[in-house]
Chains A and B, each alone.
Chain A
Amino acid sequence: MRSPDLGAATRSKGEPPMRRTVLEVVGLHRAYGGVRAVDNVSFTLAEGRSLGIVGESGSGKTTTARIVVGLERADTGRVLVHRRDRTERRRGRVHRLARAREVQMVFQDPYLSLDPRTTVGAVLRETLRLHFPDADHPRRIAELLEQVGLGEREAGALPRQLSGGQRQRVAIARALAVEPAVLVLDEAVAALDVSVQAQILNLLADIREATGIGYLFITHDLGVVRCVTDDVIVMRHGRVVESGPTAEVLARPSHPYTRLLLDSVPGPGWDPRSIAAARRALSDSP
Protein backbone atom coordinates (compact mmCIF):
# COMPACT_ATOMS: atom_id res chain seq x y z
CA MET A 1 0.00 0.00 0.00
CA ARG A 2 0.94 3.60 -0.25
CA SER A 3 2.86 5.30 2.54
CA PRO A 4 0.73 6.19 5.55
CA ASP A 5 -0.98 9.53 5.81
CA LEU A 6 1.88 12.02 5.98
CA GLY A 7 -0.33 14.71 7.34
CA ALA A 8 -1.76 12.83 10.29
CA ALA A 9 0.83 14.12 12.74
CA THR A 10 1.07 17.64 11.43
CA ARG A 11 -2.68 18.05 11.14
CA SER A 12 -3.16 17.72 14.88
CA LYS A 13 -0.89 20.75 15.36
CA GLY A 14 -3.17 22.69 13.07
CA GLU A 15 -0.50 23.48 10.48
CA PRO A 16 -1.26 22.99 6.80
CA PRO A 17 0.61 19.79 5.96
CA MET A 18 2.81 19.47 2.89
CA ARG A 19 1.20 16.94 0.62
CA ARG A 20 1.98 15.65 -2.82
CA THR A 21 -0.68 16.30 -5.43
CA VAL A 22 -2.03 12.98 -6.69
CA LEU A 23 -4.72 14.14 -9.04
CA GLU A 24 -4.77 17.24 -11.17
CA VAL A 25 -7.64 18.05 -13.48
CA VAL A 26 -7.11 20.95 -15.85
CA GLY A 27 -9.71 22.65 -18.02
CA LEU A 28 -11.98 19.70 -18.76
CA HIS A 29 -14.59 20.21 -21.45
CA ARG A 30 -17.15 17.75 -22.67
CA ALA A 31 -20.16 18.49 -24.85
CA TYR A 32 -22.97 16.20 -25.96
CA GLY A 33 -24.54 17.77 -29.02
CA GLY A 34 -25.18 21.35 -28.00
CA VAL A 35 -25.11 20.66 -24.26
CA ARG A 36 -21.98 21.51 -22.34
CA ALA A 37 -22.00 18.71 -19.79
CA VAL A 38 -18.60 19.67 -18.42
CA ASP A 39 -17.47 23.22 -18.97
CA ASN A 40 -13.94 24.19 -17.97
CA VAL A 41 -13.61 22.14 -14.81
CA SER A 42 -10.31 22.18 -12.93
CA PHE A 43 -9.30 20.95 -9.49
CA THR A 44 -6.50 19.22 -7.61
CA LEU A 45 -6.51 16.49 -5.01
CA ALA A 46 -3.60 15.92 -2.62
CA GLU A 47 -2.49 12.62 -1.17
CA GLY A 48 -4.70 11.46 1.67
CA ARG A 49 -7.24 14.19 1.09
CA SER A 50 -10.89 13.94 0.19
CA LEU A 51 -12.51 16.20 -2.36
CA GLY A 52 -16.26 16.36 -2.75
CA ILE A 53 -18.05 17.18 -5.97
CA VAL A 54 -21.58 18.34 -5.22
CA GLY A 55 -24.38 19.04 -7.61
CA GLU A 56 -27.80 17.98 -8.80
CA SER A 57 -28.59 15.79 -11.76
CA GLY A 58 -27.31 17.39 -14.94
CA SER A 59 -24.61 19.34 -13.07
CA GLY A 60 -21.86 17.35 -14.78
CA LYS A 61 -20.47 15.81 -11.60
CA THR A 62 -20.80 12.21 -12.78
CA THR A 63 -19.44 12.98 -16.26
CA THR A 64 -16.44 14.64 -14.61
CA ALA A 65 -15.89 11.55 -12.46
CA ARG A 66 -16.18 9.26 -15.46
CA ILE A 67 -13.61 11.28 -17.37
CA VAL A 68 -11.22 11.07 -14.42
CA VAL A 69 -11.65 7.30 -14.31
CA GLY A 70 -11.38 6.96 -18.09
CA LEU A 71 -14.87 5.71 -18.81
CA GLU A 72 -15.59 8.86 -20.79
CA ARG A 73 -13.33 11.06 -22.91
CA ALA A 74 -12.92 14.78 -22.56
CA ASP A 75 -13.14 17.00 -25.65
CA THR A 76 -10.30 19.06 -24.23
CA GLY A 77 -8.48 19.26 -20.93
CA ARG A 78 -6.15 17.00 -19.03
CA VAL A 79 -6.28 14.57 -16.14
CA LEU A 80 -2.94 13.95 -14.43
CA VAL A 81 -2.18 11.39 -11.76
CA HIS A 82 1.22 11.91 -10.15
CA ARG A 83 1.88 14.31 -13.02
CA ARG A 84 1.33 11.62 -15.63
CA ASP A 85 -1.31 12.45 -18.22
CA ARG A 86 -4.14 9.90 -18.31
CA THR A 87 -5.95 11.53 -21.15
CA GLU A 88 -3.43 10.62 -23.84
CA ARG A 89 -4.62 7.11 -24.51
CA ARG A 90 -1.64 4.81 -24.86
CA ARG A 91 -2.80 1.44 -26.03
CA GLY A 92 -1.86 -2.00 -24.81
CA ARG A 93 -2.28 -4.15 -21.77
CA VAL A 94 0.59 -2.69 -19.76
CA HIS A 95 -0.71 0.86 -20.10
CA ARG A 96 -4.28 -0.18 -19.41
CA LEU A 97 -3.30 -1.92 -16.20
CA ALA A 98 -1.13 1.01 -15.16
CA ARG A 99 -4.07 3.38 -15.70
CA ALA A 100 -6.30 1.12 -13.60
CA ARG A 101 -3.81 1.26 -10.75
CA GLU A 102 -3.96 5.05 -10.77
CA VAL A 103 -7.69 5.45 -10.32
CA GLN A 104 -10.41 3.06 -9.15
CA MET A 105 -14.12 3.66 -8.89
CA VAL A 106 -16.92 2.55 -6.59
CA PHE A 107 -20.39 2.89 -8.06
CA GLN A 108 -23.74 3.62 -6.46
CA ASP A 109 -25.22 0.19 -6.97
CA PRO A 110 -22.88 -2.67 -6.05
CA TYR A 111 -25.50 -5.11 -7.32
CA LEU A 112 -24.87 -3.90 -10.85
CA SER A 113 -21.11 -3.63 -10.55
CA LEU A 114 -20.45 -7.14 -9.21
CA ASP A 115 -20.71 -10.30 -11.31
CA PRO A 116 -23.63 -12.26 -9.85
CA ARG A 117 -21.93 -15.61 -10.51
CA THR A 118 -18.56 -14.84 -8.93
CA THR A 119 -17.90 -15.26 -5.21
CA VAL A 120 -16.36 -12.45 -3.20
CA GLY A 121 -13.07 -14.28 -2.84
CA ALA A 122 -12.90 -15.01 -6.55
CA VAL A 123 -13.55 -11.37 -7.44
CA LEU A 124 -10.56 -10.29 -5.39
CA ARG A 125 -8.38 -13.16 -6.61
CA GLU A 126 -9.10 -12.27 -10.23
CA THR A 127 -8.20 -8.64 -9.67
CA LEU A 128 -4.98 -9.52 -7.84
CA ARG A 129 -3.94 -12.09 -10.44
CA LEU A 130 -4.33 -9.49 -13.15
CA HIS A 131 -2.37 -6.76 -11.42
CA PHE A 132 0.05 -8.58 -9.14
CA PRO A 133 0.61 -12.03 -10.66
CA ASP A 134 3.49 -12.88 -8.32
CA ALA A 135 2.01 -11.81 -5.00
CA ASP A 136 0.77 -14.01 -2.16
CA HIS A 137 -2.92 -13.85 -3.04
CA PRO A 138 -4.60 -15.71 -0.12
CA ARG A 139 -2.81 -13.49 2.39
CA ARG A 140 -3.70 -10.32 0.51
CA ILE A 141 -7.35 -11.38 0.11
CA ALA A 142 -7.64 -11.98 3.86
CA GLU A 143 -6.04 -8.59 4.44
CA LEU A 144 -8.43 -6.81 2.09
CA LEU A 145 -11.49 -8.50 3.55
CA GLU A 146 -10.40 -7.55 7.03
CA GLN A 147 -9.81 -3.98 5.93
CA VAL A 148 -13.44 -3.65 4.82
CA GLY A 149 -14.85 -5.57 7.79
CA LEU A 150 -15.75 -8.83 6.05
CA GLY A 151 -14.84 -12.33 7.14
CA GLU A 152 -14.18 -15.77 5.71
CA ARG A 153 -17.88 -16.54 5.55
CA GLU A 154 -18.46 -13.64 3.15
CA ALA A 155 -15.45 -14.64 1.03
CA GLY A 156 -17.32 -17.71 -0.18
CA ALA A 157 -20.60 -15.86 -0.78
CA LEU A 158 -22.16 -14.71 -4.04
CA PRO A 159 -23.28 -11.06 -4.28
CA ARG A 160 -26.97 -11.96 -3.91
CA GLN A 161 -26.27 -13.68 -0.60
CA LEU A 162 -24.96 -10.42 0.84
CA SER A 163 -26.75 -7.31 2.10
CA GLY A 164 -26.42 -3.97 0.31
CA GLY A 165 -23.85 -2.74 2.79
CA GLN A 166 -21.78 -5.90 2.51
CA ARG A 167 -21.84 -5.70 -1.29
CA GLN A 168 -20.58 -2.15 -1.13
CA ARG A 169 -17.77 -3.35 1.16
CA VAL A 170 -16.84 -5.92 -1.51
CA ALA A 171 -16.79 -3.21 -4.18
CA ILE A 172 -14.49 -1.13 -1.98
CA ALA A 173 -12.21 -4.11 -1.32
CA ARG A 174 -11.96 -4.81 -5.05
CA ALA A 175 -11.05 -1.20 -5.73
CA LEU A 176 -8.41 -1.23 -2.97
CA ALA A 177 -6.93 -4.49 -4.27
CA VAL A 178 -5.03 -2.69 -7.04
CA GLU A 179 -3.68 -0.11 -4.55
CA PRO A 180 -4.89 2.91 -6.48
CA ALA A 181 -3.67 6.44 -5.86
CA VAL A 182 -7.20 7.80 -6.16
CA LEU A 183 -10.57 6.29 -5.33
CA VAL A 184 -13.58 7.81 -7.08
CA LEU A 185 -16.80 7.21 -5.16
CA ASP A 186 -19.85 8.03 -7.27
CA GLU A 187 -22.87 8.27 -4.93
CA ALA A 188 -21.34 5.22 -3.26
CA VAL A 189 -23.49 5.44 -0.14
CA ALA A 190 -26.65 6.91 -1.69
CA ALA A 191 -28.49 3.60 -2.05
CA LEU A 192 -27.78 2.44 1.50
CA ASP A 193 -29.97 2.72 4.56
CA VAL A 194 -28.91 5.39 7.01
CA SER A 195 -27.54 3.00 9.62
CA VAL A 196 -25.53 1.07 7.03
CA GLN A 197 -24.44 4.27 5.31
CA ALA A 198 -22.86 5.42 8.57
CA GLN A 199 -20.89 2.15 8.80
CA ILE A 200 -19.55 2.58 5.27
CA LEU A 201 -18.68 6.25 5.75
CA ASN A 202 -16.72 5.36 8.90
CA LEU A 203 -15.02 2.53 7.03
CA LEU A 204 -13.97 4.93 4.27
CA ALA A 205 -12.56 7.34 6.86
CA ASP A 206 -10.53 4.51 8.42
CA ILE A 207 -9.15 3.39 5.05
CA ARG A 208 -8.10 6.89 4.13
CA GLU A 209 -6.30 7.31 7.43
CA ALA A 210 -4.52 3.97 7.07
CA THR A 211 -3.50 4.19 3.40
CA GLY A 212 -3.19 7.84 2.41
CA ILE A 213 -5.36 7.22 -0.65
CA GLY A 214 -7.10 10.26 -2.14
CA TYR A 215 -10.89 10.32 -2.46
CA LEU A 216 -12.96 12.00 -5.10
CA PHE A 217 -16.40 11.88 -3.56
CA ILE A 218 -19.33 12.51 -5.92
CA THR A 219 -22.59 13.13 -4.08
CA HIS A 220 -25.75 15.15 -3.95
CA ASP A 221 -25.92 14.86 -0.15
CA LEU A 222 -24.44 17.83 1.68
CA GLY A 223 -24.56 16.03 5.02
CA VAL A 224 -22.33 13.31 3.56
CA VAL A 225 -20.00 15.91 2.03
CA ARG A 226 -19.62 17.61 5.38
CA CYS A 227 -18.87 14.29 7.01
CA VAL A 228 -16.24 12.87 4.65
CA THR A 229 -14.55 15.61 2.62
CA ASP A 230 -11.88 18.22 3.33
CA ASP A 231 -12.57 20.32 0.26
CA VAL A 232 -15.53 20.66 -2.01
CA ILE A 233 -16.47 21.97 -5.43
CA VAL A 234 -20.06 22.83 -6.26
CA MET A 235 -21.13 22.21 -9.86
CA ARG A 236 -24.07 23.55 -11.77
CA HIS A 237 -24.81 23.23 -15.49
CA GLY A 238 -21.36 21.77 -16.08
CA ARG A 239 -19.48 24.57 -14.37
CA VAL A 240 -17.79 24.93 -10.99
CA VAL A 241 -19.72 27.71 -9.26
CA GLU A 242 -17.92 27.54 -5.93
CA SER A 243 -14.99 25.73 -4.34
CA GLY A 244 -13.01 25.73 -1.13
CA PRO A 245 -12.56 24.00 2.20
CA THR A 246 -15.77 22.07 2.95
CA ALA A 247 -16.32 23.59 6.39
CA GLU A 248 -15.94 27.09 4.98
CA VAL A 249 -18.15 26.60 1.92
CA LEU A 250 -20.94 25.05 3.96
CA ALA A 251 -20.74 27.63 6.75
CA ARG A 252 -20.41 30.67 4.50
CA PRO A 253 -21.57 29.89 0.97
CA SER A 254 -20.81 32.71 -1.43
CA HIS A 255 -22.74 31.53 -4.49
CA PRO A 256 -26.55 31.72 -4.39
CA TYR A 257 -26.77 28.21 -5.83
CA THR A 258 -24.73 26.79 -2.95
CA ARG A 259 -27.01 28.61 -0.55
CA LEU A 260 -30.07 27.15 -2.30
CA LEU A 261 -28.61 23.65 -2.01
CA LEU A 262 -27.98 24.18 1.70
CA ASP A 263 -31.44 25.57 2.33
CA SER A 264 -32.97 22.63 0.47
CA VAL A 265 -31.72 20.10 3.01
CA PRO A 266 -34.78 19.25 5.09
CA GLY A 267 -34.57 19.81 8.82
CA PRO A 268 -36.15 21.82 11.61
CA GLY A 269 -37.42 25.18 10.40
CA TRP A 270 -37.37 24.02 6.79
CA ASP A 271 -39.39 26.23 4.48
CA PRO A 272 -40.09 24.48 1.18
CA ARG A 273 -42.08 27.42 -0.20
CA SER A 274 -39.24 29.90 0.05
CA ILE A 275 -36.83 27.32 -1.39
CA ALA A 276 -39.13 26.80 -4.35
CA ALA A 277 -39.26 30.58 -4.86
CA ALA A 278 -35.46 30.91 -4.59
CA ARG A 279 -35.07 28.07 -7.08
CA ARG A 280 -37.28 29.79 -9.63
CA ALA A 281 -35.46 33.10 -9.14
CA LEU A 282 -32.12 31.38 -9.70
CA SER A 283 -33.16 29.46 -12.79
CA ASP A 284 -34.23 32.73 -14.41
CA SER A 285 -30.68 34.01 -14.02
CA PRO A 286 -27.87 32.52 -16.12
Chain B
Amino acid sequence: MDYTFQFEQVLPQLPYLLGGALVTLQIAFVTFWAGAVIGVGGAIAKVYGGTGARRIASSYVTFFTNTPALVQVFLLYYALPDAGVLLESMTAVLIGLTLNAGAYLTEIIRAGVISVRRSEMEAAIALGLSRLQILRHVILPHIARTIYAPLSNFFVWLVLGSSVAALFGVEELTGRAINISTANLRSIETFTVIAVIYVALTLVASTSLALVGRWAFRVRAKVF
Protein backbone atom coordinates (compact mmCIF):
# COMPACT_ATOMS: atom_id res chain seq x y z
CA MET B 1 0.00 0.00 0.00
CA ASP B 2 1.65 3.20 -1.06
CA TYR B 3 -0.37 6.25 -0.36
CA THR B 4 1.28 9.62 0.01
CA PHE B 5 -0.55 12.05 2.20
CA GLN B 6 -0.80 15.45 0.62
CA PHE B 7 -1.90 17.79 3.31
CA GLU B 8 -0.54 20.79 1.37
CA GLN B 9 -3.70 20.68 -0.73
CA VAL B 10 -5.89 21.00 2.34
CA LEU B 11 -3.98 23.27 4.70
CA PRO B 12 -4.36 26.44 2.58
CA GLN B 13 -8.13 25.95 3.04
CA LEU B 14 -7.75 26.17 6.82
CA PRO B 15 -9.33 29.65 7.15
CA TYR B 16 -12.33 28.44 5.13
CA LEU B 17 -12.65 25.38 7.40
CA LEU B 18 -12.29 27.46 10.57
CA GLY B 19 -15.09 29.67 9.27
CA GLY B 20 -17.12 26.47 9.03
CA ALA B 21 -16.20 25.65 12.63
CA LEU B 22 -17.69 29.02 13.59
CA VAL B 23 -20.94 28.08 11.83
CA THR B 24 -20.88 24.75 13.69
CA LEU B 25 -20.56 26.59 17.00
CA GLN B 26 -23.38 28.95 16.03
CA ILE B 27 -25.69 26.04 15.24
CA ALA B 28 -24.78 24.40 18.55
CA PHE B 29 -25.41 27.68 20.45
CA VAL B 30 -28.76 28.37 18.85
CA THR B 31 -30.04 24.82 19.26
CA PHE B 32 -28.76 24.68 22.84
CA TRP B 33 -30.46 27.88 24.02
CA ALA B 34 -33.65 27.42 22.03
CA GLY B 35 -33.72 23.81 23.22
CA ALA B 36 -33.16 24.98 26.79
CA VAL B 37 -36.27 27.18 26.60
CA ILE B 38 -38.28 24.14 25.48
CA GLY B 39 -36.49 22.08 28.13
CA VAL B 40 -37.46 24.43 30.97
CA GLY B 41 -41.06 24.44 29.79
CA GLY B 42 -41.10 20.68 29.37
CA ALA B 43 -39.52 20.06 32.76
CA ILE B 44 -42.01 22.35 34.52
CA ALA B 45 -44.87 20.64 32.67
CA LYS B 46 -43.56 17.21 33.63
CA VAL B 47 -42.99 18.02 37.30
CA TYR B 48 -45.74 20.51 38.18
CA GLY B 49 -48.17 20.20 35.28
CA GLY B 50 -51.61 18.65 35.31
CA THR B 51 -52.30 15.29 33.72
CA GLY B 52 -52.76 16.78 30.25
CA ALA B 53 -49.59 18.87 30.26
CA ARG B 54 -47.60 15.97 31.71
CA ARG B 55 -48.84 13.61 29.04
CA ILE B 56 -48.03 16.02 26.21
CA ALA B 57 -44.52 16.69 27.56
CA SER B 58 -43.87 12.97 28.06
CA SER B 59 -44.95 11.97 24.59
CA TYR B 60 -42.88 14.78 23.09
CA VAL B 61 -39.80 13.55 24.94
CA THR B 62 -40.47 9.88 24.16
CA PHE B 63 -40.99 10.54 20.47
CA PHE B 64 -37.97 12.78 19.94
CA THR B 65 -35.51 10.76 22.02
CA ASN B 66 -36.43 7.50 20.33
CA THR B 67 -36.00 8.58 16.72
CA PRO B 68 -32.89 9.85 14.92
CA ALA B 69 -32.42 13.61 14.55
CA LEU B 70 -31.45 13.03 10.92
CA VAL B 71 -34.84 11.57 10.00
CA GLN B 72 -36.64 14.26 11.99
CA VAL B 73 -34.94 16.91 9.87
CA PHE B 74 -35.64 14.87 6.72
CA LEU B 75 -39.31 14.95 7.56
CA LEU B 76 -39.25 18.70 8.16
CA TYR B 77 -37.25 19.42 5.06
CA TYR B 78 -38.99 17.15 2.55
CA ALA B 79 -42.47 16.73 3.98
CA LEU B 80 -43.44 20.24 5.02
CA PRO B 81 -43.42 21.51 1.41
CA ASP B 82 -46.34 19.11 0.94
CA ALA B 83 -48.24 21.12 3.51
CA GLY B 84 -47.25 24.34 1.78
CA VAL B 85 -44.42 25.33 4.13
CA LEU B 86 -41.13 25.75 2.35
CA LEU B 87 -38.14 25.86 4.70
CA GLU B 88 -34.61 26.85 3.86
CA SER B 89 -32.12 24.10 4.66
CA MET B 90 -30.54 26.03 7.54
CA THR B 91 -33.96 26.82 9.04
CA ALA B 92 -35.10 23.21 8.74
CA VAL B 93 -31.89 21.99 10.41
CA LEU B 94 -32.17 24.55 13.21
CA ILE B 95 -35.83 23.73 13.91
CA GLY B 96 -35.22 19.98 13.76
CA LEU B 97 -32.15 19.99 15.98
CA THR B 98 -33.82 22.39 18.42
CA LEU B 99 -36.85 20.14 18.81
CA ASN B 100 -34.52 17.20 19.27
CA ALA B 101 -32.34 19.02 21.81
CA GLY B 102 -35.43 20.26 23.64
CA ALA B 103 -36.47 16.68 24.35
CA TYR B 104 -33.11 15.71 25.85
CA LEU B 105 -32.85 19.00 27.75
CA THR B 106 -36.31 18.44 29.23
CA GLU B 107 -35.01 15.26 30.82
CA ILE B 108 -31.79 16.86 32.06
CA ILE B 109 -33.56 19.86 33.57
CA ARG B 110 -36.30 17.70 35.07
CA ALA B 111 -33.64 15.68 36.87
CA GLY B 112 -32.35 18.96 38.32
CA VAL B 113 -35.78 20.15 39.39
CA ILE B 114 -36.68 16.93 41.23
CA SER B 115 -33.30 16.87 42.95
CA VAL B 116 -34.33 19.83 45.15
CA ARG B 117 -35.24 18.29 48.50
CA ARG B 118 -38.21 19.29 50.54
CA SER B 119 -36.05 19.69 53.66
CA GLU B 120 -34.02 22.37 51.90
CA MET B 121 -37.16 24.40 51.27
CA GLU B 122 -38.33 23.91 54.83
CA ALA B 123 -35.00 25.04 56.19
CA ALA B 124 -35.18 28.14 53.98
CA ILE B 125 -38.68 28.92 55.22
CA ALA B 126 -37.56 28.40 58.81
CA LEU B 127 -34.78 30.93 58.21
CA GLY B 128 -37.44 33.43 57.18
CA LEU B 129 -36.51 33.71 53.51
CA SER B 130 -39.14 35.11 51.18
CA ARG B 131 -40.35 33.09 48.20
CA LEU B 132 -38.17 35.05 45.79
CA GLN B 133 -35.16 34.66 48.07
CA ILE B 134 -35.77 30.91 48.30
CA LEU B 135 -35.85 30.70 44.52
CA ARG B 136 -32.78 32.89 44.14
CA HIS B 137 -30.59 31.51 46.92
CA VAL B 138 -31.73 27.92 47.44
CA ILE B 139 -33.54 26.38 44.50
CA LEU B 140 -31.77 27.84 41.48
CA PRO B 141 -28.21 27.34 42.81
CA HIS B 142 -29.05 23.76 43.69
CA ILE B 143 -30.51 23.05 40.25
CA ALA B 144 -27.60 24.80 38.54
CA ARG B 145 -25.04 22.72 40.40
CA THR B 146 -26.87 19.49 39.67
CA ILE B 147 -27.39 19.98 35.96
CA TYR B 148 -24.28 21.94 35.03
CA ALA B 149 -22.12 18.92 34.19
CA PRO B 150 -24.76 17.09 32.10
CA LEU B 151 -25.56 20.37 30.34
CA SER B 152 -21.95 20.95 29.34
CA ASN B 153 -21.66 17.36 28.10
CA PHE B 154 -24.80 17.91 26.11
CA PHE B 155 -23.40 21.06 24.54
CA VAL B 156 -20.34 19.14 23.36
CA TRP B 157 -22.70 16.47 22.03
CA LEU B 158 -24.57 19.17 20.10
CA VAL B 159 -21.35 20.45 18.55
CA LEU B 160 -20.72 16.94 17.22
CA GLY B 161 -24.36 16.35 16.33
CA SER B 162 -24.60 19.55 14.30
CA SER B 163 -22.55 17.80 11.59
CA VAL B 164 -25.91 16.42 10.44
CA ALA B 165 -26.53 19.88 8.96
CA ALA B 166 -23.94 19.13 6.26
CA LEU B 167 -26.28 16.56 4.74
CA PHE B 168 -28.76 19.33 3.94
CA GLY B 169 -26.18 21.54 2.28
CA VAL B 170 -25.47 23.80 5.25
CA GLU B 171 -21.87 24.91 5.01
CA GLU B 172 -20.65 24.23 8.51
CA LEU B 173 -17.41 22.39 9.29
CA THR B 174 -18.40 19.02 7.83
CA GLY B 175 -20.23 20.65 4.93
CA ARG B 176 -17.20 22.69 3.98
CA ALA B 177 -15.01 19.59 4.22
CA ILE B 178 -17.33 17.83 1.78
CA ASN B 179 -17.06 20.84 -0.54
CA ILE B 180 -13.27 20.79 -0.40
CA SER B 181 -12.89 17.05 -0.81
CA THR B 182 -15.12 16.95 -3.86
CA ALA B 183 -12.89 19.61 -5.42
CA ASN B 184 -9.41 18.33 -4.53
CA LEU B 185 -10.25 14.60 -4.16
CA ARG B 186 -8.03 14.45 -1.09
CA SER B 187 -10.77 13.02 1.11
CA ILE B 188 -8.68 11.29 3.77
CA GLU B 189 -6.56 14.38 4.35
CA THR B 190 -9.53 16.75 4.39
CA PHE B 191 -11.56 14.70 6.84
CA THR B 192 -8.53 14.09 9.05
CA VAL B 193 -8.00 17.83 9.26
CA ILE B 194 -11.60 18.51 10.26
CA ALA B 195 -11.47 15.63 12.75
CA VAL B 196 -8.57 17.44 14.41
CA ILE B 197 -10.55 20.69 14.33
CA TYR B 198 -13.54 18.95 15.96
CA VAL B 199 -11.29 17.52 18.68
CA ALA B 200 -9.78 20.95 19.33
CA LEU B 201 -13.20 22.62 19.28
CA THR B 202 -14.77 20.23 21.78
CA LEU B 203 -11.67 20.26 24.00
CA VAL B 204 -11.81 24.05 24.18
CA ALA B 205 -15.56 23.94 24.78
CA SER B 206 -15.51 21.36 27.56
CA THR B 207 -12.45 22.84 29.27
CA SER B 208 -13.83 26.36 29.32
CA LEU B 209 -17.25 25.11 30.41
CA ALA B 210 -15.65 23.20 33.29
CA LEU B 211 -13.68 26.28 34.34
CA VAL B 212 -16.76 28.53 34.17
CA GLY B 213 -18.67 25.94 36.18
CA ARG B 214 -16.06 25.92 38.91
CA TRP B 215 -15.93 29.68 39.06
CA ALA B 216 -19.66 30.45 38.80
CA PHE B 217 -21.46 27.51 40.38
CA ARG B 218 -18.70 25.82 42.38
CA VAL B 219 -19.30 22.67 40.36
CA ARG B 220 -16.54 20.18 40.99
CA ALA B 221 -16.33 19.17 37.35
CA LYS B 222 -13.32 17.38 36.02
CA VAL B 223 -11.62 19.54 33.43
CA PHE B 224 -10.68 16.36 31.55
A and B assemble together: no
Question: A: which residues have CB within 8 A of B?
Answer: none
